[in-house]
Structure 1
Amino acid sequence: MNEHKAESMRRATALAESVRIGQREVGPGQPCYIVAEAGSNHNQSLEMAKELIDVAAEAGCDAVKFQTFSAATLYSKRTPRFSYLGDADVYQLIEANELPRAWQAELFAHAQRRAITFLCSPFDIQAVDELDEIGVLAYKIASFELVDHAFLQYIAAKGKPMLLSTGMANLGDIEEAVAAILATGNREVALLHCNSVYPTPMASVNLRAMETMRQAFRCAVGFSDHTVGTTISVAAAALGANVIEKHFTLSRRLPGPDHGPFALEPDELQALVQQIRWTAAALGNGIKTCTPDEMEFARKGRRSIVAAMDIPAGAVLTAEMLVVKRPGLGIPPKFMALLMGRRVRVDIAADEPVTWAHIG
């Protein structure tokens, strides 16, 4: 098999290095794609859902994401209680937080009006089809669904990019899920590192796993953040996350499981977006040099060779005639030895920076 054919086969059986969501390229060398996770924080109020979209748009997020699920198709009524939810019955809690499916098209349209991408995590086949019909640009897949390969393949067959969270998974789990997706011919997958504890303890975050996934799958990677505050999302951006997903709420005082301490309030979401953008700007290109805005400081603040006394034209320079101090307008100090014994061709006043134009 020739090298060209081998490379073509490798590419056909590997994830794409980046994905395209609408007009946005998401991957290496591109701005971090920020997803504001509304989850079920609409509290079954259409107006609240629209307000969440408004908040995400005003914060400068790239996308706002909801979840479409039904208790009847998601959880058995015999599901044990989750410790972090206290005494709440899981089935009843899910039922009370369902997004009315009739809202999906209206929320999609509202997001379009606010110039922000509408995303939604589907949790059943019906939701996948409904979201496809209204024109979603990509699918976000929750960590819990990673082991349902048939479901992943159904979504992948829609031919749209997929943001796949990987909470609770090891590399083998992810490899199996990726293989299932690739079998459909869909290569546009971004993998999001995640820890599925709400909120996630700092010692359990393990941000370095994001780079492990990047090396293993050669694709866009990111971080779905369930920690308290904005610090870890910013750290993920500094480590090269191509996607950041963060829960947000109108108020953490509202009732419901997704309004918890891991969710940001509107002003905090806005701050997070700014911090991520600042972080990207601060990372730069890696070339170590004097930046244009440092030039004034280099000229006026660095040291150079200065006359220690009045030096008449024709004098032969000695060590006693010269001193090193600021500003940096004269000959650099490293050339001091070269000046010894040289004759000056013009008068140099005391405290005047010595330049090569002074030297005969």
Structure 2
Amino acid sequence: MNRTLIIAEAGVNHNGDINLAKKLIDVAAEAGADYVKFQTFKAAKLVSVEAKKADYQNKNTTNSTENQLQMLQKLELSEKQHYELMSYCCEKKIKFLSTAFDLDSLEFLKKLGLKLFKIPSGELTNLPYLERIAELAEEIIISTGMSNMEEIEETIAVLRGKTSAKISVLHCNTEYPTPFGDVNLLAMKTLKDHFGVSIGYSDHTVGIEVPIAAVALGAEIIEKHFTLDKTMEGPDHAASIEPHELTDMMRAIRNIESALGSSVKRPSESELHNIAIARKSIHLSRAKLSGSQIKEDDLEMLRPGDGISPMKFRNILGLKCKFDLPKGHKLSFNDLDK
């Protein structure tokens, strides 16, 4: 049984508050996630002053006059805060992860000791970024929101040209929240078949159904945004799940992993005792004398199933009874003779 890697995406849902960030770590650890992931960036190196906020960002923030740069500046984590959060993750026994959005942030995450690097959907076509992450990472996860197969193929080619690091690819849609009709979850399997990589799913839908379905379809990695409260102000809160939903998602995914089992079709240990109870055996529908021949209308199929299987029905027609046998008798081959 494969164990799905679960990344609880805190992202920028800390709203720039270190104490809120620690509460998010608490929630992720208590839910049993493998990683809690933040975002590392210097807003001035990520967006220009002309960059407008996305529609979902405008909808979920109250300041309609600020641009994307101004919004993101309030969501930066300092280097000191990164160290503090890493230490707190160690204390809570959950792995720390962060996505870098610029070259300087990549260098800083390497300085922090990160070996696993996550490429966000927006950087998938950023050649200098891809080349540097290939030089730094020992393992790479790529989100593929907004991309087509040719773009993903080009990205993977760049990475493989510079690194032998393991590459995993996450199917993703970057609309917050993603309409269910736009998820296209089956594309995840296309990625696996085409690129021969580990696959997963980064989810931005409302609720927990789609990531659970992704695991049933073979996702090895699930990434899901979470928050303390969906009604908080901030660009990503509304499309995130709350603590109880994260716990429910974790439980459901682990149950699905267990339920997937193997590809072998056979009775499970838990149901073996039901075979005799639920199946039938061949019984006599009337009393038979010793030496009389078994005919079709002498037989009926009744539970329990610990006698001669009805699948042997044709095999016993024409055989003779060795003894006088009463109506309702459960036949055995010891009762019969040629």
Which runs of structure 2 are paired with 1:257-268 in the superposition (5 Å)? 257-260=235-238, 262-268=239-245
Amino acid aligned to 2:44: A
- Give the AA of the match of 2:146: M
Counting only pairs closer than 5 Å after superposition, residues 101-180 of structure 1 correspond to structure 2 as 101-180=79-158
The residue aligned with 2:35 is 63
Compute the displacement of 1:207 (Å): 1.2
Q: Which residue of 2 aligns with 1:12?
A: none
Match of 1:277 in 2: 254
In structure 2, distance between residues paired with 1:109 and 1:353: 70
Indicate the residue corresponding to 2:192 in structure 1: 214
How many residues get paired?
331
2:57/2:236 contact within 8 Å kept: no
Distance across 2 between alignment mates of 1:348 and 1:97: 86
Is the Cα contact below 8 Å between 1:157 and 1:186 reproduced in 2?
A: no
Task: Please say if residues 44 and 100 of structure 1, whose CA atoms lie closer than 8 Å, have aligned partners that are also in contact.
Answer: no
1:276-314 deviations in whole A, cap 9, x for unaligned? 122222222122222222222221111221122344554
Structure 2 Cα separation of the partners of residues 229 and 239 of structure 1 = 18
**Equivalent-residue separation in structure 2 for 1:314 and 1:101 (angstroms):** 94
AA partner of residue 136 (structure 2): K
Runs of 5+ in structure 1 lacking a partner? 1-28
Indicate yes or no: 2:268 matched with 1:296.
Answer: no
- Cα distance in 1 for partners of 2:2, 2:256 equals 13
CA distance in 2, matches of 1:104, 1:344: 85
SS of the residue corresponding to residue 300 of structure 2 reads strand
Q: 2 CA distance for matches of 1:318 and 1:329? A: 21
Q: Is the counterpart of residue 350 in structure 1 residue 327 in structure 2?
A: yes
CA distance in structure 2 between the partners assigned to 1:277 and 1:226 by the alignment: 20
Tell me, what secondary structure is at the counterpart of 1:240? coil
Q: Bigger CA drift: 82-91 or 68-77?
A: 82-91
Matches for 1:49-60 after TM superposition, within 5 Å: 49-60=21-32
CA distance in 1, matches of 2:127, 2:27: 35
Displacement of 1:37: 0.3
* Partners of 1:357 and 1:55 in 2: CA distance: 66
Unaligned runs of 5+ in 2: 59-63
1:226 maps to 2:198:
no
- 1:201 is the counterpart of 2:176: no
CA deviation vs aligned residue, 1:144-187 (integer Å, no higher than 9, x gap): 01111111211221132111111111112112211221222233
Counterpart position of 1:91 = 69
Residue 303 (structure 2) aligns with:
326
Structure-2 change in CA distance of 1:221 and 1:195 (3 Å): same
Q: Does 1:305 align with 2:282?
A: yes
Residue 41 (str. 1) matches residue 18 (str. 2): no
Classify the secondary structure of the residue corresponding to 1:251.
coil
> Are positions 1:359 and 2:331 aligned together?
no
**Contact 2:117/2:137 (8 A) holds in 1:** no
- What SS class does the counterpart of residue 43 from structure 1 fall into? coil
> CA separation in 1, counterparts of 2:216 and 2:316?
47
Match of 1:337 in 2: 314
CA contact (8 A) 1:329 1:353 kept: no
Change (3 A) 1:81 1:258: closer
Contact 1:192 1:223 in 2 (8 A): yes
Match of 1:79 in 2: 51
8 Å contact kept, 2:282–2:310: yes
The AA in structure 1 aligned to 2:169 is: L
Q: Check if 1:316 corresponds to 2:293.
A: yes
How many angstroms does 1:112 deviate by? 2.0
Asked whether the equivalents of residues 201 and 214 of structure 2 are also in contact (C-alpha less than 8 Å), the reply is yes
Structure 1 residues 124-133 or 141-150, which shifts more?
124-133
Structure 1 residues 150 and 299, CA gap change in structure 2 (3 angstroms):
same
- Contact 1:104/1:131 (<8 A) preserved: no
Q: Quote the Cα distance in structure 2 between the aligned partners of 1:281 and 1:347.
A: 52
Offset at residue 315 of structure 1 (A) = 4.1
